[in-house]
Amino acid sequence: MKMVTNWPNAIAHIDCDAFYASCEAARRPDLKGRPICVLSSQNAIVVAKSYDAKALGITTGMPVWEAKKLAPQAEFLAADFRYYGQLSHKLFSILRRYSPDIEVYSIDEGFIDMNGIRTLWRKPFRQLADEIRQSVEREVGITVSVGISVTRILAKMASESNKPNGSTVIPGKRIERFLADIAVSDIPGIGRNRAALLHKFNIHTALQFIHIEESLMQRLLGRHGLILKQELSGIAVMGLEVNPPLPKSIARTASMGEVTKSRQLVTAHLSYHTMRLVSELVAKQLFTRRIHVFLTLSTFEKRGADIRLDLPSSSLRRIAAAVKEGFITLFRVDESYRGCGIVATHISRAASATPDLFGLSKEDSRQTELMLTVNRINKRYGDCTVSLATIQTVKEKKRRVRFCYPLFIAS
Ligand SMILES: [Mg+2]
């Protein structure tokens, strides 16, 4: 195999630790150290949990009643994507200080092209990784794990290997030592089925994986396997998506792993897909105007419904309402389903959205921001210290707008 030098290429992967739960703890210090569960749109299932909640056996996708039985002392909170989006944007603005070339991979994960960064900052990668972690913790109030290596996948595995709040730097010459301790099932893109197949060929570690002969790899995992082998060997084949094109659609769909008539189960799956879709829209600062909801019947027949939103939006409330509307028109009590999904189309950039005439979208974000500020101030100085109108004036001044106008808040 070709020998890789230490830094033929340099990529950093930044991954927030238990992001949604950490966001909640960041605005409510009283939650620190308590198990936190963040719930889906209809409060049906756990979509995220803190490390302490995980230690109690709570898993993502678990129905709320089950989680409450396991950990009645935990805090159960409704997801608030506008707020998570705000913290996510703060995170990425910190990353942009280090390099203009960053990829927003998800709401809480990003890559930085580190080529040339070391000489620019005159610091070793280890120190840069620690500084990124410390800046995010100081300015956003949450912890992240950082991995720096020569390819995208190695950087991701590096950050994963030392969670939470860790820095891991893997230069080319240390790749093999790093891979020797990693199970094939922990390679991104190797799911349960692929891992089982590899085990049959006596391949258990990531190090054994990169030594699979190309012809065998082609047979076992096809082109995907060959790309993984190269990336893991330190040969960068996957670049960063620094300026991704506007997607035509964003889909979240999955088989439910069983055939069911349960309305509750299908709803739970749909609400989970909704959360993941909204988190992607918020992370990438995109809006959708139309939601396609579909159910896959036990016969594999697909049935779908299109719901048009009042305006381009990434609001969880609006999108969840659209999904619910679609679901109601599709679901029949006498049928069995094996899968479901949602597809957002008519995608636009949030930044280029024209202000809507009736202020519908503003009302969404204003309500959230206002409530956050009210909570913060009232927490510090006692309840009802300030009225909503006062806060808005304070906020307006801070932003140094030239014109102040009276605000009417419908509640
Ligand atoms: Mg994460």
Share of the chain above pLDDT 90, in %: 72
Select the more confidently predicted residue: 405 or 107. 107
384 C-alpha to center of ligand 1: Å?
Answer: 36
Tokens representing residue 36 in the block: 């936190």
Domains and CATH numbers, the chain: 19-83 (3.40.1170.60), 95-232 (3.30.70.270), 249-362 (3.30.1490.100)
The CA distance from 290 to 288, in Å, is: 6
User: 110 CA to middle of ligand 1, Å?
Assistant: 10
**Cα(145) to centroid of ligand 1, in Å?**
8
Question: What pLDDT, on a 0 to 100 scale, did the predictor assign at position 272?
Answer: 86
pLDDT surpasses 80 at 4: no
- Per cent of the chain over pLDDT 70 is 85
CB 287 within 8 A of CB 314: yes
H-state helical runs in 124-185: 125-140, 152-160, 175-180
Q: For residue 11, what pLDDT is reported?
A: 97
The sign of the CA dihedral 92, 94, 100, 103 is negative
Cα-to-centroid distance, 387 and ligand 1 (Å)? 36
Q: What is the pLDDT of residues 85-98, one digit of tens each?
A: 999 999 999 999 99
**Residue 356 pLDDT:** 55
Show the CA angle centred on residue 253, arms to residues 248 and 255, nearest 5°. 155
Just list the catalytic residues.
Answer: 109
pLDDT at 154 exceeding the cut of 50: yes
CA distances from 345 to 242, 279, 286 (A): 22, 15, 11
- pLDDT tens column, 371-385: 444 444 444 443 333
209 alpha carbon – ligand 1 mean position (Å) = 25
CA 20–ligand 1 middle distance (angstroms): 9
Say whether pTM exceeds 0.85. Answer: no
Model pLDDT, residue 364: 55
CA of 60 to the centre of ligand 1 (A): 13
d(CA 16, ligand 1 centre) in Å: 4
Question: Cα-flanking dihedrals φ and ψ of residue 34, to 5°?
Answer: -95, 145
pLDDT mean over 180-201: 95
pLDDT in tens, 263-316: 988 998 898 899 899 999 999 999 999 999 999 999 999 999 999 999 999 999
**Going by C-beta distance under 8 Å and a sequence separation of 6 or more, which residues neighbour residue 118?**
7, 10, 124, 125, 128
Task: Provide the mean pLDDT of the chain.
Answer: 86
Q: Distance, CA 151 to ligand 1 centroid (Å)?
A: 19
Side-chain-facing half-sphere of 385: CA atoms under 13 Å: 12
The phi, psi pair for 154, rounded to 5°, reads: -65, -40
